[in-house]
């Protein structure tokens, strides 16, 4: 595995490398031990201007990317998928070293999932017509045409940088759009590897542009006059700011924001079912709880509350914490010491409110040099507690009792968020009935696993629009009706 420090002197623009206009740099720190793992130039307004101009040229050129046939674009997406697949192991290592997510997670999510997304969209556009002709109700015919929307600003977070970026660039490129990608400053080294893959795949200059930058760079990009659509994943607070800008500019946008999802246990759940603890971990605590769709509100039937609390607590206690690059590690550090400190303050608030910690609640021994925190399970908190209601983005679960299926649905819906969720039951049909009643964008029955071919997104404060699936492609297309 690669462990060297990675320093880049250029920005990743035009499918190649350019010197930045400024001299500021982004330094990336490994949260597992606090050491610097690399750096990259910080893109400023002039660099954004350069990248957007390159994307506009590539899109507006009569022979440019937007004019390519679906088959030609699909072949290019497949080439990019091949180039990323060759780099999958290195990509996983780079992500793990930057954000602390264990290799056991990044090998799939960051190394392989973007490849799957690209290949899905390559296959989809081969079969999906750009134009459909239909009879007009008042005589004649109408041609309904789906054109690429234009130049897209794609802004991704640090917690799953390659996976969440692929949610944006893959359908955008498939539709015929050009993209300007701004990765999070915490994860720019994997973005450089992605830029290398773009160059090797032979995509025309300007079709994909990558700009390492911070909040100011993102804000300038969102407001840039050359952008036709914004796709953003991040916090609800930041999403509201993006939405305000796009609303003022009447600019289309997709927002995938925060969550505080419910994991609903029904009274017939079999706690001895094979793999249940592993599947529950993936739905509630993966990536140290730093995933927006996780079901961090456990709702358990009062009649079985004690045994479910113990099951959840045992799942949390037995997780293996350690070096993200150790294949045996199940949970690494939080992304930074500052993030750990913030989560610790939330835990302290829960204790002050009278909550009882049944697992975790402290820093683990033997891991003093990293931003580690034990996975923590609370009981005894009221449903009105901020610990129960607000997104924590850390390894903290709360367990609340419910009085039956109807009450569980009520509690699950009693949230300003609506992104994920799950139900755990011995009766899959009963679980499906619960799933249909919870107001959320995605939901799992006895598991939670994002599907590239299905829409992903949230309702309420969890976002606007959908990524992935055919809906994700349509969000990067402008619909035109031609009457004849």
Both tokens assigned to 207: 């079709």
Cα separation of 324 and 304, whole Å?
A: 35
Residues 309, 360 contacting (CB under 8 angstroms): no
Residues 6+ apart with CB under 8 A from 57: 64, 206
Which secondary structure element, helix H or strand E, spans residue 341, and what is its range? helix 337-352
Q: What are the structure tokens assigned to 333, written together?
A: 């550090």
Structure tokens at 56: 């506009």
Residue with tokens 């529950």: 280
Helix axes 276-284, 305-317, angle to 10 degrees: 80
Give start and end residues of each alpha helix (H) in 150-214: 161-175, 189-201
Task: Give the number of other Cβ atoms within 10 Å of residue 49's Cβ.
Answer: 16
Site of tokens 């490849």? 115
- Note whether 297 and 398 are within 8 A (CB): yes
Using an 8 Å Cβ cutoff, are 377 and 296 in contact?
Answer: no
Strands annotated E in 331-443: 356-359, 376-379, 396-402, 422-424
Q: Does the annotation count 353 as an active-site position?
A: no
Structure tokens at 195: 């830029």
Which residues partner with 148 through β-bridges?
477
Catalytic residue among 256, 344, 391, 467: 256
* Catalytic residue check, 292: yes
Instruction: Find the catalytic residue in 83, 178, 292, 391.
Output: 292
Give how far the C-alpha of residue 249 lies from the chain's centroid of Cα atoms, to the nearest Å. 25
The length of the chain is 484
**Separation of alpha carbons 123 and 68, rounded Å:** 16
Q: Hey, which residues are catalytic here? A: 256, 292
């Amino acid at each position: 595995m690669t462990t060297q420090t990675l320093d880049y002197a250029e920005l990743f623009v035009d499918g190649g490398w350019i010197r930045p206009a400024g001299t500021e740099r982004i330094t990336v720190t490994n949260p597992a031990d606090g050491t610097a793992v690399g750096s990259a130039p910080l893109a400023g307004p002039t660099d954004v201007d350069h990248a957007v101009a390159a994307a506009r040229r590539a899109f507006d050129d009569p022979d440019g990317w937007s004019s390519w046939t679906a088959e030609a674009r699909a072949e290019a997406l497949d080439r990019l998928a091949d180039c990323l697949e060759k780099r999958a192991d290195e990509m996983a290592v780079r992500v793990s070293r930057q954000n602390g997510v264990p290799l056991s997670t990044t090998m799939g999510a960051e190394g392989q999932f973007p490849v799957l997304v690209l290949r899905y969209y390559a296959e989809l556009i081969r079969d999906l017509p750009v134009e459909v002709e239909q009879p007009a109700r008042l005589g004649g015919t109408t041609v309904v045409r789906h054109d690429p929307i234009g130049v897209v600003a794609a802004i991704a977070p640090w917690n799953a940088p390659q996976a969440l970026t692929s949610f944006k660039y893959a359908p955008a490129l498939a539709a015929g759009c050009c993209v300007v990608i701004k990765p999070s400053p915490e994860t720019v080294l994997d973005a450089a590897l992605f830029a290398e893959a773009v160059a090797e795949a032979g995509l025309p200059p300007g079709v994909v542009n990558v700009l390492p930058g911070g909040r100011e760079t993102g804000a300038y990009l969102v407001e840039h006059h050359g952008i036709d659509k914004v796709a953003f994943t991040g916090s609800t607070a930041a999403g509201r700011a993006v939405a305000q800008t796009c609303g003022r500019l009447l600019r289309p946008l997709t927002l995938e924001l925060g969550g505080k999802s419910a994991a609903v246990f029904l009274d017939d759940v079999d706690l001895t079912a094979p793999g249940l603890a592993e599947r529950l971990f993936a739905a509630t605590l993966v990536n140290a709880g730093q995933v927006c769709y996780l079901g961090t509100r456990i709702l358990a039937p009062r009649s079985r509350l004690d045994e479910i609390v113990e099951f959840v607590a045992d799942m949390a206690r037995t997780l293996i914490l350690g070096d993200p690059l150790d294949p045996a590690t199940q949970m690494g550090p939080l992304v930074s010491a500052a993030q750990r400190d913030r989560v610790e303050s939330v835990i302290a608030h829960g204790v002050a409110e009278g909550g009882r910690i049944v697992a975790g609640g402290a820093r683990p021994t033997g891991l003093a040099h990293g931003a580690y925190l034990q996975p923590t399970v609370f009981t005894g908190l009221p449903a009105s507690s901020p610990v129960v209601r607000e997104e924590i983005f850390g390894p903290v679960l709360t367990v609340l009792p419910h009085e039956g299926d109807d009450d569980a649905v009520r509690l699950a819906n009693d949230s300003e968020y609506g992104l994920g969720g799950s139900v755990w039951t011995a009766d899959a049909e009963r679980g499906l009935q619960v799933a249909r009643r919870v107001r959320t964008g995605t939901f799992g029955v006895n598991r939670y696993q994002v599907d590239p071919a299905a829409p992903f997104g949230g309702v309420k404060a969890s976002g606007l629009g959908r990524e992935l699936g055919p809906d994700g492609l349509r969000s990067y297309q402008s619909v035109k009706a031609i009457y004849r």
